[in-house]
Amino acid sequence: MWVPGVKIKRLKDQAGLATLAFSLAISSLSSPAPSHAAESGDAGVRCVQNQLTSLDIDVGVIDGLFGKKTAAGAQQAVKEMPKLAELNELNPNNALMWCREMALVSPKLKQYWPTQDGPKLQYFFSGSLNKDEQNSIRSAMETADKYFDKYDVELPGTVQIVASDDLNAMARSINNVARNAIPVKEGVKILEKQCSGKPLSGLNINGLIALCFDKKTDVTKRARVLKDIAVHEYAHEVQRQYTSYTKALVRDRSEIVAINGPRWLVEGTAIAFTSDYAYRGLRSEFLIELIRENATRFSGRTLSTLRHGDAPEKEVFGSYASLAGYMVAQKKGMAGIIRFWEQMARSDWETAFASTFGLSINAFYREFDWQRPTPKKSLKAPVLTQNDAGIACVQQQLTAYNINVGTIDGLYGRKTFRGIKKLIEKYPVLADLDDLTRDNGLMWCRQIGLIDEALQIYWPANQTAFNYQFDQSVDLDLRKTIRSSVNKAAKALSDLGFRPTGSVNLIASTNKDNLIAIIKQRLRSPVNFDEVKQDFDNRCKSAKTGGISTDGSIGLCLGSSGKLDEEIMHLLAHEYLKQSAGYAWPDKQISDQFFQFGPRWLYEGIAIALVDYMNAPKRSFAAHIANRIKDSQSVKSGLHQLEAYGSASPAKHQKRGAVAAHILAESGGSYDSFIVYWDELSRSNWQIAFETAFNISVGEFYKQIKDGSS
């Protein structure tokens, strides 16, 4: 059995939570035994057969045996009640789920639930348990049943409880009661693994809850722990009745994952319910903080490997499952977990997870990544005047870990390269990032600071967020207006969760030639300056205010017309994207940006959508966006045709991209999903980042846009 081995601090009831942590039980989700459903029939199948018969659908004999007539009857029911088409196809293991769902569509069918004409909780006691101990067990299970009432949980099937202090007697009871027979010898092995050496324990197996006790344990004196275990195992039973039982004989562990989800998720959600019951005053955020105070490093990559059948170190798995369960509960509350199980009756677990909690499982794994900061003696804020601020920041962060990088000069050399390799050994999650280059030093500086907040002191933006440079053509009033616009744009992005990493050079002039001369001096490596100059020529032809974001600098051409706030927000959004994903100009060809930032419609569209987000009055924002989306004919003409820089006119990229970006934000949850997209670009190609941030594949999004279903 696994038990959470989490070091608990700053909790008044430390002993209580520790007792809880070391008493929670893990379900045995499969058992290598032949099915005896063909002999005894199945209560779920029998319920569905009764329900179908009441609808005048012929299923033959109502015997609890799943055959062709029952399967055909379910298909006929779908035609009569189309809502049932959402459900996973009826099979012997999910019949109880169908029994429940059919009654939700047609309430009169609830009369055929096994709990309507039989006990809701059915007990099978054996061994030397006396009446008082049996009553304590009844009380614990009734408490668990009542607890789930607050989440409107209704179970169609009887919950069978086998309890004993004699493992052999318990194995015999399980063989007789379980949905699928488990030979006594096999049952004893399972129980010994789960129960031996523990005063109280439990597991959910084959359609029943098994509670086992050491003969020396006085059950009546362990009422609190007993109730915790009862809630934990009852949570497993709720999931199984809402989704599907695992087959008795499972040869491929992936089959278990497909039905129940990965082991960490099955256990983590049950742990969350147990903590919600036992410590009603504790919020998920606080429980997350308690676990993360432990020195153990938490990796989303490790979490993703914790599937059924794996045998990780017990305490490691305990910490991982507990933390993951609390993080899931934090998303939509405990009721959200119930909704997740309901969705699992309709799709695979990954699809159900994304639709319920608003992020893909890969995005959750990334969110799960965490490393406890290493205490440091003294960190002094640096003055970054070296060649490249991003590389210099990384060098100082490495030095803070006593990793030798030689001179902190902002130049990317062998020592810095070797230092990064050592840091990845300490923080393996950094291996997910694109390799360090002189173009993405600021991105690495950012990601290291997100892992260890103490190292954010080296972020250049913490010293100076904006470096302003104006020529004589910009008077004092205009300079003040520009600063105000920059602060407004920065605050809007901050409200969405973006903290700048690097300083931004903002250069403004009414004279294009002066502006280009200053920009040229600021470029880190003016390899392709002609491209930058050409872009300035395009943006600064008319009297309208415009500009570009390039290589850590924003160049602002001040004309007599145009909205300054909108232009600055647009350019600042591009600059913050590059801080997240790495710079592209002037070292790379424009065509390369497609692979780094995504298609131009998305690059431009997000920036324009954020301008709308900043400028539109809150009370009219929905109407404002609706007006943009209303003009959607240009979008339907094919975003996929704009998957490149340089194709089509900038106006088409911006117009179509803005509408598409608003649709993504509105359907994906909120505008902070753009920040998630930027961050994911540091780890993967744009298509994967797109799916992670917006919970839809690029291809599917194009299809929805074309069909007009978004």
**Cβ atoms 390, 443 nearer than 8 A:** yes
pLDDT of residue 653: 63
- 9 vs 206, 220, 288, 346, CA distance in Å? 38, 29, 12, 41
pLDDT of residue 62: 92
Band (289; pLDDT cuts 50, 70, 90): confident
Fold of 464-588: Glutaredoxin (3.40.30)
Determine which of 176-185, 529-538, 653-662 has the lowest per-residue pLDDT on average.
529-538
Band (705; pLDDT cuts 50, 70, 90): confident
pLDDT of residue 367: 84
Greatest CA separation for the chain: 95
CA 208, CA 190: separation in Å to the nearest integer?
14
Amino acid at 567: E
pLDDT of residue 657: 78
pLDDT of residue 413: 86
pLDDT of residue 338: 96
Q: What is the dihedral of CA 206, 208, 210, 211, to 10 degrees?
A: 160
159-190: per-residue pLDDT in tens?
999 999 999 999 999 888 888 778 899 889 88
Band (440; pLDDT cuts 50, 70, 90): confident
**Cβ atoms 230, 287 nearer than 8 A:** no
pLDDT of residue 206: 75
CA 379, CA 377: separation in Å to the nearest integer?
7
Inform me whether the pLDDT recorded for 397 exceeds 90. Answer: yes
Determine which of 60-64, 240-244, 490-494, 545-549 has the lowest per-residue pLDDT on average.
545-549
Band (528; pLDDT cuts 50, 70, 90): low
Could you tell me what percent of the chain has a pLDDT over 70?
79
Domain boundaries defined on the chain: 14-30+250-368, 389-457, 464-588, 591-710
CA 452, CA 397: separation in Å to the nearest integer?
10
> Phi/psi of residue 382, each to 5°?
-90, 165
The answer to whether the predicted template modeling score (pTM) of the entire model surpasses 0.75 is: no
461-482: per-residue pLDDT in tens?
988 899 999 888 889 999 999 9
Helix spans in 81-222 (H)? 95-105, 131-149, 167-177, 184-195
13-50: per-residue pLDDT in tens?
433 443 444 344 433 333 333 333 334 589 999 999 99
pLDDT of residue 32: 33
Among left, alpha and beta (phi > 0; psi -120 to 50; other), residue 371 is beta
Could you tell me what percent of the chain has a pLDDT over 90?
34
How open is the CA angle 118-115-95, to the nearest 5 degrees?
Answer: 120
Instruction: Detail the DSSP E strand segments found in 510-647.
Output: 546-550, 553-557
